[in-house]
Structure 1
Amino acid sequence: MKSLLAAAAAGLALAASGTAANAQISDNVVKIGVLTDMSSLYADATGKGSVAAVEMAVADYGGKVKGVPVQVVSADHQNKPDVGINIARNWYDNDKVDAILDVPTSSVALPISALTREKNKININSGGGSSDITGTACSPNTVHWTYDTYALSNVAGKAMVKRGEDTWFFVTADYAFGMALERDAANVVKESGGKVLGDVRHPLNSSDFSSFLLQAQASKAKVVALANAGGDTTNALKQASEFGLVQGGQKMIALLQEITDTHSLGIKATQGLIVTDAFYWDMNDETRAFSKRFNEKVGHMPTMIQAGLYSATMHYLKAIEAIGTDEAPKVMVQMRDTPINDFFAKNGHIRIDGRMVHDMYLFEVKKPEESKGEWDLYRLIATVPGDEAFRPLDKGGCPLVKP
């Protein structure tokens, strides 16, 4: 009888300790929400591919962390801040989502970051671009993983002005991302000794760029810079070709050009285009291995946003595993304390302002005769170390950064 009682007591103690351990994971599940653009101009660069990248990471991790399941939910924010906020609020309040990932479109990304701080959850942004996310609007609950407007502008702007392409005209999307991208690029051009001759703003998701491109053409600027993304960039490039801007001697630069955009336009139409990117599928054996699997699942090579999401998801799950809880402040500390070393980034690190610092790359689109396959699109011009590519920590105006 004593032996039976002792065994029963030991069993109860073991069960209690297991329950206590699992209690560190809220609701006995880690739930990740992928908030993205499923149906509009950023759908190829983010969208279903973003969801697939997160799901691949969860599956590769084993589908569980600390013995509890990891679930992925997703939604389309339609590039509307009110829609995005309503989805995020419902996820946090009712669906017990622990972290929201992706969030392209900075006018949606910025309020989602603020809401995440209010709810004390975690936001890992891969799709949004505004450098304000880690600047004046920085949050202890948000990580900006893949790129931002400062890095895009800094890498390309310095290189082009150095080559003598020192007068610029901007064609800019009229919302938070576009204006941040123009602001950051214009500052780099001026600091590098160049001049900005003018700019024009266009509505998000425009189909007709004729009047904007005519103004750019009339400016006689050496560089016509597109401070937009996705479908806006591809439409502007197509119409710039029709108007003969490049044939007339002007250089076109897409400050944010995803590989899916280049592929859609075709190598013949984009040859010679300068592109800043955080990831390219054909860099090494690791990038090729991931990209091959992604392509088989999704039907195209991953964009930097999608590759970044796989990396971010893995880093998030590893942090939970290491400390045994999904409590947001503790997970954020662990993520900041742990370097990122994977196919996406080598020796990457997360600063106190939320910026994940890693190398950025400057590419030139190959000529058709140089390409050896459907996705063999880019030639590497330069690798820019993260500390040079991204804005210095003390220059962004983040309140979390102490003097």
Structure 2
Amino acid sequence: MSHFNIPIGRRTLIKAGVALGASQVIGAPFIVTALGEEPVKIGMVNPLTGVLSALAQSEVDGARYAEAEINKNGGILGRQVQLLVEDSANDVGTGVQKTSKLIDRDKVAVILGDVNSGIAYAMSQVTSEKKVFHIVPGGHTDPITGTNCKWNVFRVCNTTTMDAAAITPELVKRFGKKWFFITPDYAYGHTLEDAFIKQLKKLGGTFEGDYLPINNTDFSATLIKAKGYKPNVLLNNMGGLTQINCMKQFTQFGMQKEMALGGALFELETVKALQPDAQAGWWDMEWWWNQPDVPEVVKFVKDYRAATKKTPSARDWFGYVSMHTVRLAAAKANSLDGPKLAMAVEDLELPPEVALQPGKVRYRAGDHELMPNIFIGEVHPPKSGPDDVFTIAGRVPGEQAAGSVADTGCKMVHPA
């Protein structure tokens, strides 16, 4: 994919250099021409090392693909786009430091990130203070577009409330309402489990569970506890590499014969990293590549595979949508000014070739949350190809799963 890493052509640089050279002789107007050729810089901060790295890399891949596509079609406001990627290393302090560097030193117009919700929230404090437009492609914790919502922050992935609301009725209907949670002990895990408990209690369910470190490796004590509880469903809320380790140990214990598996997210990157007997359960997919009735999706998947040699996951789609949102916002606002971009995205509807799914997909003005479909269904070993590991059983509209803006606790305040 190295050809995606050259967003500004050599010819452009030569032209800019010639203009600058000439300006020293002729006078200032030529500098304006040269600066017009400056790329629009977009900064992305994601955990490219650590347990969430596979998910983070897919978001970068999707953003890189969009970068090439946007540049091929004239850029943003007539300028080429340059995506600058930094590794947060799954660490809050590093994420904040990289965000400040991208804004202050690299002069990016927009920030994207982070997969880790805790880092995304810390980054949003920097971006709102510096009045920089910020998209969170894949950090799910509710407060980002809820109680801690900010005028400059928009989110592509679902809230934990949306993911829990979409799958809970399906799990209860199919398997029962006695559940055991294995949940990561950080922002995402706590809001996700809280959302599930709220939904489960409405349906008269009972539960038990454990909070474990985000990078936990040994699940034996928790799995023994789960076995003893005899739940109908085990909810594996871990993410990335940690979820893989948990699934492996779950199947080694032979527990798939004793209880159903399910939860919010079991992502394509994670499913593919596991052996067939661990490719199971009922889950949400926040976007899915196999939508044969949607021509835009069929074309996108074909083109994406040709360019990147991989099938796009929801994470690739998050990165792709984030970049195109910047393009659409800049065109609508005719500006890269943070407050103007933010106003342009409120209630912005994604065109079909970006939404890549049926129905109306928009950023809700009240809380800046994207309202896509949530695909619910069953994970299984590959059928017609290595990526055919999920069958859609239904689609839940984002608006239905999200509840009202008032429910989120967001009180949006725009800068004066």
Q: Deviations over 1:175-199 (max 9, x none)?
A: 1111111111111111122122x12
Partner SS state of residue 306, structure 1: helix
Q: What does residue range 247-262 of structure 1 map to in structure 2 within 5 Å?
A: 247-248=257-258, 250-262=259-271
Q: Kindly state the Cα deviation for residue 161 of structure 1 after the two structures are TM-superposed.
A: 1.5
Helix, strand or coil at the partner of 2:249: helix
Given that residues 143 and 149 in structure 2 are in contact (C-alpha distance below 8 angstroms), is that contact kept between their aligned partners in structure 1? yes
Residue of structure 2 equivalent to 1:11: none
Whether 1:103 aligns to 2:114 is: yes
Aligned-partner Cα distance in 2 for 1:98–1:256: 31
Residue in structure 1 matched with residue 370 of structure 2 by the alignment: 356
Q: TM-score, normalised by structure 1?
A: 0.88
- Tell me if structure 1 keeps the 8 A contact 2:71–2:80: no
Check conservation: 2:110, 2:132, Cα contact below 8 A: yes
Other-structure match for 1:322 = 332
Name the residue aligned to 1:305.
315
Residue deviations 1:53-80, cap 9 Å, x none? 1122122123522222211100110110
- Cα distance between partner residues in 2 of 1:46 and 1:292: 22
Query: Which residues of structure 1 form unaligned runs of 5+?
Result: 1-14
Matched, 1:392 2:404: yes
* Cα distance in 2 for residues equivalent to 1:380 and 1:263: 17
The aligned counterpart of 1:9 is none
Question: 1:95-128, CA deviations, whole angstroms, 9 ceiling, x for partnerless residues?
Answer: 1111111310111111111211111101111121
Mapped partners of 2:286, 2:315: distance in 1: 8
* Correspondence for 1:235 among 235, 242, 245: 245
Indicate if the aligned counterparts of 2:59 and 2:318 stay in contact, CA closer than 8 A. Answer: no
Deviations 1:229-269 (A, max 9, x none): 11111111111111122212x11114221111111114443
How far apart in 1 are the matches of 2:84 and 2:203? 45
State the 1:164 CA deviation: 4.6
1:40-119 → structure 2 map (5 Å cutoff): 40-47=50-57, 49-62=58-71, 64-119=75-130
* Separation in 2, partners of 1:298, 1:122: 28
**1:213 — aligned with what?**
223
Q: TM-score, normalised by structure 2?
A: 0.85
The one-letter code of the counterpart of 1:374 is P
Aligned to 2:18: none
Matched residue count: 379
Retained in 2: the 8 A contact 1:279–1:304? Answer: yes
**Deviations 1:2-43 (Å, cap 9, x if unpaired)?**
xxxxxxxxxxxxx79x959x99x8x95421112112122222
> Within 5 A, what are the aligned runs for 1:32-43?
32-43=42-53
Letter in 2 for 1:303: S
Contact residue 31 and residue 71 of structure 1 kept, 8 A: yes
- SS of residue in 1 equivalent to 2:265: coil
Amino acid of the residue matched to residue 145 of structure 1?
Answer: V
Cα contact 2:55–2:315 (8 A) shared by 1: yes
Q: How far apart, in 1, do the equivalents of 2:48 and 2:253 lie? A: 31
- Relative distance call for 1:331 and 1:401 in structure 2 (3 A) is closer
What percentage of residue pairs aligned between the two structures are identical? 25
* CA deviation vs aligned residue, 1:109-164 (integer Å, no higher than 9, x gap): 11111211111101111121101111111111111112221121111112112335
Supply the distance in 1 between the matched residues of 2:276 and 2:378 (Cα, whole angstroms).
Answer: 11
**Paired AA for residue 182 in structure 1:** E
* Residues 297, 209 of structure 1: alpha-carbon distance in 2 compared, 3 angstrom cutoff: farther
Amino acid at match of 1:83: T
CA distance in 1, matches of 2:406, 2:201: 20
Distance 2:347 2:32 in 1: 28
**RMSD over equivalenced CA pairs, Å:** 2.4
Question: Is the partner of 1:62 in helix, strand or coil?
Answer: helix
Q: CA deviation at 1:344?
A: 3.0
